[in-house]
A = this chain, B = another copy of it.
Amino acid sequence: MSAQFLSDNAAAVHPKVWEALRAADEAQPPYDNDALSQRLDAEFSALFGREASVLWVATGTAANCLALATLCPPHGGVVCHREAHIEVDEAGAPGFYLHGAKLMLAEGQGAKLTPDAVRAVIDPIRDDVHQVQPHAFSITQATEYGLAYRLEELAALGALAKERGLGFHVDGARFANAVAFVGCSPAEAAGPCDALSFGCIKNGAMSAEAIVFFDPERAALARYRRKRAGHLQSKGRFLAAQILAMLEGDLWLDNARAANAAAAEIAGACGERLMYPVEANELFVRLSAAERETLRTRGFGFYDWGADAARFVTAWNTPPEDASALADAISGL
């Protein structure tokens, strides 16, 4: 057998997304002047229960950086976790999009940011022109270790943002998985933030993420920046189509639930091996080199995570039998 748990980022495209793509083939006004793109604001406003202004882009990196560029000037700083995707895996894109602004690195278990961790970064900064001043912070929901922020954690961060006048950004590459796990409404999950990178690509889409702004002025600014970054596609209707397909009938939540369920099943077999609770679709599992070799021999694909662990990621289309097989294989080690 062969069962892949390498990542969700290159998984197949959901049939309903394919349908939506094909249905969007006929020529329409270019860029985001088509009927599909024009529906995004209303759909997300309904989803989140407040006025939302929404832009599509082709990658999570572009989504994150265009959002952050509206929250922090070139001479400012954005607090994020030391292991945040924007710090570790985006090739310095924030430095590019924010024109040299600084990522300020906070500590925290499981790549989760807390008000205390943010304060530990910003409180020592002298309020003078010699030091970069913080203007915003960014969290990843679910985190890079698959942990979901609870509503009270989000509320506490929102209170901090308000108290300190900081912008609040959510990198939601796996927002769906977090919402599915927490069981709250999307409105609650996005509650206190200013801008949300609403991920679709890891969740069944092909090439579209949504940047959701809860302030139309920031969205207006980001529209200029999107074009300037070469991210305004002329056949943008195909991106809007993907996003609308994800929202239609809550496909985004269904897909996330499927991925989460597969992860949960595997987690059940891991016991003490788990480095973090499994709250989304990623598992970090302590496994010796020999154990990993055994699993690979049996056809399971995954990444090593340092010398003594492995990372497994499920996706919307992980076959339940693959999850079961992996659970069995780990149990049997």
A residues sitting closer than 8 Å to B (CB atoms) are: 4, 7, 9-13, 18, 21-22, 25-30, 34, 57-63, 65-66, 73-75, 77, 88-93, 95-102, 129-133, 201-202, 206-207, 221, 223-235, 237-239
Contacts and interface: CB of A to CB of B under 8 A. Distances in A.
Given A9-B30, A99-B100, 4 more contacts: A18-B22, A91-B228, A95-B228, A129-B227
30 contacts: A4-B27, A9-B234, A10-B30, A10-B234, A10-B237, A13-B25, A59-B232, A59-B233, A60-B230, A61-B227, A61-B232, A65-B230, A75-B225, A89-B131, A90-B230, A91-B131, A91-B132, A91-B224, A91-B228, A92-B102, A93-B230, A95-B101, A95-B102, A96-B100, A98-B100, A129-B224, A129-B232, A202-B234, A229-B229, A231-B231
A235 to B, nearest CB: 6
A133 to B, nearest CB: 7
Nearest to A236: B10
B96 A224 contact: no
Contacts of A102: 92, 95
A131 B86 CA distance: 10
A61 B58 CA distance: 14
Contact of A207 (B130, B133, B235): B235
Those 6 A-B pairs whose CB atoms lie nearest each other, nearest first: A95-B100, A62-B230, A61-B230, A9-B234, A10-B30, A91-B227
A12 B30 contact: no
Q: Indicate how many identical chains form the complex.
A: 4
A302 to B, nearest CB: 13
A26 B63 CA distance: 25
Given A10-B235, A26-B12, A95-B101, A58 B207 contact: yes
Contact of A224 (B13, B75, B227, B235): B75
Given A26-B12, A91-B129, A231 B75 contact: no
Nearest to A237: B10
Contacts of A230: 57-63, 65-66, 90, 93, 97, 229, 231
A99 B74 contact: yes
A77 B232 CA distance: 20
